[in-house]
Amino acid sequence: MTSYQIHHLNFLKIAYNNFINREPFKSEELVQDDLDFIEEFKELIEAFTESKPGVHDHGQDFIDKAFRRYPELAHLIARDLLWYFGGNNLHNMTDDEIAKFQRLDEMRFEAEDKGEEFDYINKRAGLFGQN
């Protein structure tokens, strides 16, 4: 697994932990749909960890589902995951965000082409004005 993928796996794990600590998921008696959603979240993390075939499509569909079913919790999902999985998830991003993530990818590809280490988190922070 590349460092880029590891960062996104960590973003998935953080989102999962954020979700399970919020309603409706922290309730002692979850409805079946919410149980199924959390189980699917766990399965996505496991599939991502194991680099299973189809994980990208699964992630794309799952993140889209999370935004549609739990819009009040959507802010708990790192914007990086919207970009990483793409597809319909890009509709939840601003043009400015898309441009920044495109630039971040360009910077990453340039570093890879030169055989250089790419510090995703710091480069991202600089690009998004978070340092």
Examine residue 24 and say whether the peptide bond preceding it is cis (omega within 30 degrees of 0).
yes
Distance of alpha carbon 81 from the chain centroid: 2
Would you state the pLDDT for residue 18? 97
Would you state the pLDDT for residue 35? 95
Closest CA to 50 of 9, 86, 7, 3: 9
Residue 60 predicted with pLDDT over 70:
yes
Closest CA to 5 of 43, 72, 55: 55
For the whole model, what pTM was predicted? 0.91
d(CA 88, CA 68): 11
Spell out the domain ranges in the chain. 3-92, 94-131
Residues 62-73: tens digit of each pLDDT:
999 999 999 999
